[in-house]
Structure 1
Amino acid sequence: MKFIKADWDPELHGFRLDAGAYLAELPGLRAGLPPGAWSFASDPGHYDISGATRCVKDLEPAGIHLATDKSAGLVLEFAPNRWKHDSGLRISYSGVTHFSVDHEHSIDRMLVGTVLLDEILPDEDGGCTHEIALTDASITVRCADLQAVWEDAG
């Protein structure tokens, strides 16, 4: 990620997370981000790690659905963390030109597990790139736009 920091700190035995540089840059990205991406990235609770139920931190990957036709659609589902979230998150991507999941395997005791933070940046073709840092992997999606919907866990 370019602005978001989500790095393992061996001294802390935990992750050092910082969205400050991205939040400072975000107003300047508005004109370059598609409407759905802007709406999701600029939601006031998105990066409120201290407790907002709409913060992506600690969500758990729950499903990947790739379109089987030529629509270039992709849906990622995230289950709520039972200690933090009231709802899960479904992100629907349109016009997908790239999708990857990269496993790092740098912390043996952790599973791919949970979301640390994410970052959405404008792409040179008018779309966006969405990178999601997980505890031991990352997801990258390049697309025309995305729609993020918080859904009841029940």
Structure 2
Amino acid sequence: MLPLSGLALPALLTGCGGDDDPAATPTPVAAAYTAAAFSTMAAPTLDNPAAMATTTVGSTLSVSFSDGSSRNFKLAYRPFFVTGDQVPDGKGGTILAGGYYDINNQPIIDRSVAGKERQFYSDCPDGSSLLTLKNANVPGVKGNTVFAV
């Protein structure tokens, strides 16, 4: 037998499996994304008028992975905000989403109800609207003036 120093003994016993713990199972490697595809969706019809009056989503995102598996995700519509909401302006304050401003970047105010003045804003899906003002005077326009904003 060879003499062993105190430092050699731990090195020789390393990896002997002297405890009762089960061997660690290696973490499986996640399959890599390989492709994605969106399913089509038929446009709403008068068979379901409520679907025509709201934002309707009936499509799916299908994701394929490198191990041959795939996963489907049902898509949905969830707005971040709607016009008329106060949203961050990027400067520490808020701004009215869809709010109307004049040529001098001042809010256009609805003063039709005393004590309840508020900024005009678009409540249309695309953020635009038609606006009429009492006694509007636009050179060359006769009748009721309508502004597209």
TM-score class, shorter-chain normalisation, is under 0.3
Structure showing the higher strand proportion among its residues? 1
Normalised by the length of structure 2, the TM-score is 0.22
- TM-score relative to the length of structure 1: 0.21
Higher relative contact order (CA 8 A, sep 6+): 1
Greater helix share, structure number: 1
